[in-house]
């Protein structure tokens, strides 16, 4: 599947470009075409006084015909597209998922599944670290402590 890479931020509702070690993810969500007039892209309404976008608006509107759609219903109909390099297998790939955050290892994130190894790649909110539970947590803490000790020497 060949995804269409964005050329302008004006066409996007969401964009993220992250790199952490071997993991590299570029994710985006295109704005949806107005279902009523099919002439313009839906977006958040503009403030009449300043002409700026209302960031906390609870609806999306068409600038052409004025059609209004509820925020929750609108965002659930969108798809997130991503190009990634998997941290588990090291291969590059592309994937899509619903534009809805799910809780993964205790952190709200968009989940993309690697096409090669089926590893779940999490695109977290504000680059939050995933939580590790049980025996994995103890091993991770021990490994981190060893790295700190090695850096001090």
For residue range 74-85, what is the model confidence (pLDDT) as tens digits? 999 999 999 999
By DSSP bridging, strand 107-113 and strand 120-124 are: antiparallel
Number of other residues whose CB lies within 10 A of the CB of residue 27: 22
For residue 124, give both structure tokens.
């977290």
Confidence of residue 147 (pLDDT cuts 50, 70, 90): low
Q: What percent of the chain has pLDDT over 70?
A: 86
Distance CA 75, CA 53 (A): 17
* Stretch 35-43: mean pLDDT: 92
Domain regions of the chain by residue span: 9-32+78-152
């Amino acid at each position: 599947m060949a995804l269409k890479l964005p050329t302008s931020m004006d066409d996007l509702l969401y964009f993220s470009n992250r790199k952490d070690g071997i993991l590299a993810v570029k994710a985006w969500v295109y704005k949806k075409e107005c279902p009523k007039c099919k002439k313009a892209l839906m977006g958040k309404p503009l403030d009449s006084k300043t002409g700026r976008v209302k960031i906390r608006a609870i609806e999306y509107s068409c600038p052409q015909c004025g059609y209004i759609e509820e925020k929750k219903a609108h965002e659930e109909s969108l798809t997130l597209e991503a190009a990634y390099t998997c941290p588990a297998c090291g291969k590059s790939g592309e994937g899509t998922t619903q534009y809805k955050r799910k809780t993964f290892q205790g952190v709200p994130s968009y989940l993309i599944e690697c096409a090669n190894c089926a590893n779940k790649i999490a695109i977290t909110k504000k680059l939050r670290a995933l939580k590790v539970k049980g025996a994995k947590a103890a091993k991770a803490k021990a490994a981190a402590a060893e790295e700190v000790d090695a850096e001090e020497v």
